[in-house]
A and B are shown apart, each in its own frame.
Chain A
Amino acid sequence: MMEIFQYEFMQRAFIAGVMVAVICPLIGVFIVLKRLSMIGDTLSHASLAGIAAGMLWGFYPFWGALIFSVIGAVAIEKLRKTFSKYAEISNSIILSAGIGIAVVMIGLAKGFNTDLMGYMFGSIAAVNSQDIYIMGTLSLIIILSVVILHKKLFYIAFDEEGAQISGIAVSFLNMYLTILTALTVVVSMRIVGIFMVSSMLVIPVAAAIQTGKGFIKTIIISVLFALISVIFGLILSYYLDIAPGGTIVLLSVAILLGVLLVKALRVRK
């Protein structure tokens, strides 16, 4: 079985996969608890527009995704204030704008190709060395930010007003968290694909919450669940020759169902 690690592209896929498995739940736990689960979907559609722009104008699509998703993140926060009574509207607007721009640009770039498919559904073979360096740098920024700010982000997620009164810069940190989410989406899209990034942000966290532990333990468990999904997902994807994104997401759903089943059996006892 260890033969899959002989291939350089698989080594890169595993390195990238581990990064994704760590950063997605780290950010996901805050967006789930702030009831912003849709934001991953929104930002991934903004990234798609960036990728299409890169393909149309001939620059590295990763940069396009990064720029568009960060712009999308800033726009979501601004719109959330404009539509303060309808917080979800900001997500819908940016998601629609993202997919609209992407469709137009994909059309102008003369349609779909395998590279685009790789970004949309994830690909093992697509991760190159340049991707690994950029993903590594972004992952480091995300992990360090969460390590430094997790107490403040926890306070905001639990009690935003209380956090504001205690002197925390709530608006700034909300914006920063949204930008970190944008970075997470961009790092993750290579392996799990744009359409499934949101699942990786939400499902391992949803499963970990069901185990009924405190905050720090919930984060640790969600990272473990994500690691299991990604590692086994990549192995299955290699041997069965299926898209890694879908396999990883289906495994994480299976873990969630398993946790729910164990919980239900315990309640019966």
Chain B
Amino acid sequence: MSGLKELQEKFQRGILAGDDAVLTEINDSAKEERKTLFGVYRHAYVARLAEVLADDYDVLHAYVGDGTFAKLVKAYIAAHPSDRRSARDFGRHLPAFLSATAPFASHPELAEIASLEKALADAFDAADAEPLTVTKLAEIAPEDWPRLVFTPHPTALRLTFATNAADIWTALHNETAPPKAKALPEPQAILVWRQDVTARFRPIGPEEAMMWNEAVEGTRFGVLCEMVATFAGEDDAELRAATYLKDWTDTGMLAGCRVETTPDRGR
């Protein structure tokens, strides 16, 4: 007879590794053999986690179909026993798992679709913050604009895709036929954030991506304008920078701004 600790370890090994040692501790019931009864727990573990992954990665599921998704889920569950209290965290390693594990790694769009789904789920219940408003920006004195720095909304994050995973996601989300997976000529930047209670994403061009990366690092608006001018030409550079800023503000991607008062260090 095992003590409680040893019994729980055997029980857990019985579920995770198929080890039958725990069966010596269990009684047959009047109607059923112990192996079948313990099998309820074995089955429930895999079925519950498979359901969690199917809920969290429903677009990936739709893309690969039931058969491949079942294989992918089985491999992931075996590789990553759950180590968090909340089941919503269980699938957090799936994008990295798909990037690193054959045969999924040879289809790079799979990891990218998964990373987009994870990013949207993360944005959905990330911390709240009042978004920066155009009204607040309008109160900034013209002479202070060059020293203005921005705070991204806490839900905002950036991804970079090498494939057309974002287009595949959009088609499947709209329940239409997805385009054939393909590598993009240039990496595609994607911004993910939550507007009010809805998690959103949008692909952005290289210039906007550069400006976003600098802005979230605390680079002043005056310097951002110079960088935009360097990136794609001085003509209308300030207008381009202001347009990006207005888009970010209109869609709730920024949480605040302040006028930097320390000596100009660029950032």
Our verdict on whether A and B bind, yes or no, reads no
Interface residues of A (CB under 8 A from B): none
